[in-house]
Amino acid sequence: MALPRLYFLGRVPSVRFFSQLPDKAFVNGKWVPAASGKTFPVQNPVDESLLVEIPDMDSEDTKAAVDSSHRAFQKWKNTTAKERSDILLSWNTAILKNKTELATLLTKENGKPLQESVTEITYASSFLDWFAGEARRCYGDIIPSPRNDRQIFIFKQPVGVAAIITPWNFPAAMITRKIGAAFAAGCTCVVKPAEDTPLTALALAELAAEAGVPPGALNVVTASRSNTPAVGKVLCEEDNVRKLSFTGSTEVGRILYSQCAKNIKKISLELGGNAPFIVFESADLDLAVKGLMASKFRNTGQTCVCSNRIFVHSSVHDAFVAKLQQAMKQELRVGDGLQQENNQGPLVNRNQFDRFLKLVQSAKGEGAKVVHGGTPLPSVGPLFFAPTIITDVNPGMRCFVEEQFGPLVAICKFGTEEEVLQKANDCERGLAGYFYSRDVSQIWRVALNLEVGMVGANEAVLSACENAFGGIKQSGIGSEGSKYGIDEYIQLKSFTFGGLHLV
- d(CA 88, CA 14) in angstroms, rounded, equals 18
* Catalytic site residue from 116, 195, 206, 270: 270
Q: Reply yes or no on whether 251 is catalytic.
A: no
Residue in 154, 130, 149 with CA at minimum distance from that of residue 480 = 130
- d(CA 110, CA 42) in angstroms, rounded, equals 10
SS3 content of the chain, % helix, strand, coil (to 5): 40, 20, 40
- d(CA 50, CA 41) in angstroms, rounded, equals 7
Q: How many other CB atoms are found less than 10 A from the CB of residue 73?
A: 23
Contact 320, 312 (CB under 8 A): yes
Three-state SS for 314? coil
Contact 140, 156 (CB under 8 A): yes
CA contacts within 13 A on the Cβ side of 133 = 10
- d(CA 297, CA 405) in angstroms, rounded, equals 10
* C-alpha distance from residue 53 to each of 44, 47, 205 (Å): 12, 17, 18
Active site residues: 270
